[in-house]
């Protein structure tokens, strides 16, 4: 009997859950539990960490999981590594489902690509101007010390985990965003440089066009490496076909 575990927290994961539920494939979606009011996928959902590779392997065994789809966010590197190790230990098929990055965006060649958040800050410092930081609340500790006394605009889905410098402006919202709104936001706050990460996808890409329109330079943190040797697809239809191919 098939039982698919989707490691989720993304729109692609919700799309896949909807596909599998519609096809009558037994599926459980797993969420980390970081977001207070998450968009829930169709079908059964479990919430919270597994307790490392051992905990995940135990959960997979206890729940007779026959295949795992790692549909976590491109920057959720730990969960992907744990999934690869647990599946390899148990001999379970594992698929990576991830939306394409922005490397093929028409403006990608104009942006500064860096491999970490500290390098992103260095580039922003060299460019000058008020930074607009959209890299997520888990990345802010990289900047709170160095940018404690300067004007910074950050946009977050959830409230910050720790207090942020008084000079910073915190905007709370969740996409999708449109280009006109993003232009307005950047104008209103006098943004001089946009710091983002290569999340990919449509929900948050409007800021890139807005930055181009306003001549605001863009600094992009590249995706961290994922485990090698894992079959990867870019959308839920292809992932559902992979599940079907397992028989």
Ligand X SMILES: NC(=O)c1ccc[n+]([C@@H]2O[C@H](COP(=O)([O-])OP(=O)(O)OC[C@H]3O[C@@H](n4cnc5c(N)ncnc54)[C@H](OP(=O)(O)O)[C@@H]3O)[C@@H](O)[C@H]2O)c1
Residues that bind ligand X (CB under 6 A): 7-10, 30-32, 34, 49-52, 55-56, 72-73, 75-79, 82, 136
Residue nearest to ligand X (CB): 49
- Residue 187 CB, shortest distance to ligand X, in Å, is 26
Nearest to 220 by CA among 198, 203, 193: 198
Nearer to ligand X, 97 or 218 (CB): 97
- Residue 28 CB, shortest distance to ligand X, in Å, is 10
The packing angle between helices 179-188 and 206-214, to 10°, is: 50
Nearer to ligand X, 73 or 105 (CB): 73
Answer for the pair 130, 190: CB distance below 8 angstroms, yes or no.
yes
- Residue 215 CB, shortest distance to ligand X, in Å, is 27
Q: b/e per residue, 144-160, with b = 16+ CB within 10 A?
A: eeebeeeebbbbbeeeb
Cα separations (Å) of 147 from 131, 203, 213, 222? 10, 28, 27, 22
Give the three-class secondary structure for 154.
strand
- Residue 199 CB, shortest distance to ligand X, in Å, is 7
Nearer to ligand X, 8 or 131 (CB): 8
Q: What is the phi/psi pair of residue 227, to 5°?
A: -55, 140
- Residue 183 CB, shortest distance to ligand X, in Å, is 24
Nearer to ligand X, 51 or 190 (CB): 51
Cβ neighbour number for residue 3 with a 10 Å cutoff: 15
Nearer to ligand X, 50 or 168 (CB): 50
């Amino acid at each position: 009997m098939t039982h698919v575990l989707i490691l989720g927290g993304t729109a692609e994961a919700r799309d896949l859950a909807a596909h599998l539920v519609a096809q009558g494939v037994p599926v459980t979606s797993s969420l980390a539990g970081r977001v207070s009011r998450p968009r829930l996928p169709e079908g059964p959902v479990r919430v919270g960490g597994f307790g490392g590779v051992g905990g995940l392997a135990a959960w997979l065994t206890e729940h007779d999981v026959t295949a795992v789809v790692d549909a976590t966010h491109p920057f959720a590197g730990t969960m992907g590594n744990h999934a690869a190790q647990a599946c390899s230990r148990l001999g379970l098929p594992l698929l990576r489902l991830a939306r394409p990055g922005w490397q093929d965006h028409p403006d990608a060649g104009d942006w500064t690509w860096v491999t970490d958040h500290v390098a992103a800050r260095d580039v922003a410092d060299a460019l000058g101007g008020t930074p607009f930081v959209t890299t997520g609340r888990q990345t802010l500790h990289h900047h709170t010390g160095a940018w404690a006394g300067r004007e910074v605009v950050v946009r977050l889905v959830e409230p910050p985990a720790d207090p942020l410098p008084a000079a910073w402006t915190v905007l709370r919202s969740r996409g999708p965003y449109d280009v006109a709104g993003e232009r307005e936001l950047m104008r209103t706050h006098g943004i001089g440089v946009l710091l983002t990460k290569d999340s990919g996808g449509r929900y948050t890409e409007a800021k890139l066009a807005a930055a181009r329109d306003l001549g605001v330079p863009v600094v992009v943190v590249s995706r961290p490496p994922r485990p090698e040797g894992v079959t990867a697809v870019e959308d839920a239809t292809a992932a559902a076909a992979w599940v079907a191919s397992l028989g």
